[in-house]
Amino acid sequence: MPLVGIVMGSRSDAPAMQGAIDVLEELGVDYQVSVLSAHRTPEKVRQYALEARNRGMEVIIAGAGGAAHLAGVLASWTTLPIIGVPLAGSALQGVDALYSMVQMPTGVPVACVAIGGAKNAAYLAAAILSLKYDSVLKAYEAWRQNLAEGS
């Protein structure tokens, strides 16, 4: 059962979200990738979010551009931690997606990372899972140690 769900608003977002997959692979964290649009397929997003915790999912990473409602809509249907990745690509270069994801109203938070920050979304998921899973903690700390030595 995957611990992390990676959701993107459109198939065309796949390259921008590949970094999240790469990082979770590298850290040995199970994940599932879905293409779901908050606007075009709202019922599928709702089902996905309502069932996620029961299915054993613990963190959802949502990448979207423009009026990027995906992370916020997921957050409206579940209490799992939602990590939002604002994607560039619109004329506004991702500032629209950033504001749409980060400025959530009180009570329904989204954990927003950088524009195009798919990799960091996965590292943040690892940081969250590291609280509970020793294997993730070890993998993430080893990676960070390498980072500190290698740079």
| Nearest-approach distance from CB 21 to a second copy, in angstroms | 14
Q: Are 121 and 62 in contact (CB under 8 A)?
A: no
| Nearest-approach distance from CB 106 to a second copy, in angstroms | 5
| Nearest-approach distance from CB 18 to a second copy, in angstroms | 13
Q: Based on CB atoms, which residue is closest to a second copy, 18 or 143?
A: 143
Q: Based on CB atoms, which residue is closest to a second copy, 1 or 148?
A: 148
Q: Based on CB atoms, which residue is closest to a second copy, 2 or 42?
A: 42
* DSSP track, 13-75: GHHHHHHHHHHHHHHT--EEEEE--TTT-HHHHHHHHHHHTTTT--EEEEEEESS--HHHHHH
Residue written as token pair 């998921």: 125
